[in-house]
Structure 1
């Protein structure tokens, strides 16, 4: 039976889920293995949400393992357990929030907020409990993208605690709920930073696996405040292929490195234009820049989104792509990017989670 156990481990060591990009043994996904005379009990625990691909992955594991267990019955359980991951400086986690993920860009106009809300919706569709915080104090856009009417206000408890506003299955908080369109925020940096801290600390998030923080563009006071006062498990940098956007994205990556926040990957927006008439694809803003940036900083390109009028129109209409057309090709790209960023977060900086204790009985 020792040979069967070794064969199962070898199979799992060769099996690499696409989103995880490392094998199940190296990822620490083997939770339990028991080989008996007539059956094998195997438990696999993944550290990232992947509801849309989990049935196919389960069958892939079953098929591979059944080929080496010499006719024994296989009792297979494949589950997901999202755990908290190290934040910068060992900062303790927020109450009711397992992991905070910052979505940033070096400059405006690259589709960061649209990307942030679609990633949040994609993580939720994959089975996670997700919130989104609009940290752009001066130009909040998430209330519009979530389809919430002007004048929406969060409930207040205990005089100073905000109840997140629910939309499309997400818990959300934004300065846009606290001001009107006719009341611009005219604050100096410290006051804006204080507003971010207040929203983070006084919002009653409820059992979130991920809180997506939609940061303002650039590397200013609010971004620095987030890095200093909020436990961030990882960051995603959004860019477009143009050289100037990539230059600014590089600054964003460098900033997160300096404040000890792990960059989970790069998302390249407006990567290719597909003609709606003939289907011809053209890289109007250049090609390969995000890949070069990711290679330089030993991270990865989580996704490449097309230059699409539909994505913009859906966000403006309050029905982001993943909510508006959940089975469409653009939504599939967001879902894949969300699984990859969550999978990457589930691994340590060395690419492996700590190995669990595996009790093997014969």
Structure 2
């Protein structure tokens, strides 16, 4: 099982995004933030159009194509790839699940077509990840009455805001006056919005600029009333995460293979690629990554064939398998490279740190395998 092929235009925007990431990732890592040049390059790559439907001016990527694209940009750099992952999953899920009102879907599509980066901001200091439930402290107040109001004001703080300084728009989750949760379309360049730099010194994803965003009566002219979550939300988010970190693991394998051919110890008189121990390690890494990639391709193909709640548990399991494979790949690559892995000459230290971040995204390993196990027990004839 492999991912679907790109169309010619999809292949072009993915290639441009990879080049942009490769060019700007070192500066973002050094700055521990998204540089203005990186933000501009990501926008100009055209990647923001990838998951916008064809009829709305986009490139119409389904979940399998999106997964393939995210693995490629993740292989270039996890920090900047994750910014694109957030934009792509929010857009893809919104359109496939029709989880936003028509006027808000138009705004999301317009942002993607114009190259304006967006993200859904939901996590908070007290709340943590909203996947575990709970009411946000961030609140939305209408200037009129109810959701018929033409303008809302958002006040609160959101954490882990991937790509904060690079974003133009945010779908902000906030509590309504009646104690439910709505989503509000906020222009992050408007009054009442500021980025608080809280990501410096982070263990991983240093170039992602995942700072806090603080709202002080920030205006939101468009909003989505409280509604039940659609399966597309989980399917697209989990795929975005799984594919990005799969790319990190594949980058570690690439780096180890290059180093194994370049490193020629005097005592050996040949590249370390000739050592059985190194060959075994490369084989283990390659097999794990291929298994993870194949599972993700299978899971996203099942969703594309029949999108719905029944296809979600396998995608969650694929997320857990892909992130674990990335962690194992970077760890084994570090061990095989030896002392050289500790130097800046090899990217393995950075890849090791970035891969660990994949474990923090929902679903957690326990929830992912429990849900998939329950699905298998309910339908034991289906794998």
TM-score, length-normalised on structure 2? 0.23
Higher strand share: 1
Higher helix share: 2
Larger RCO (alpha carbons 8 Å, 6+ apart): 1
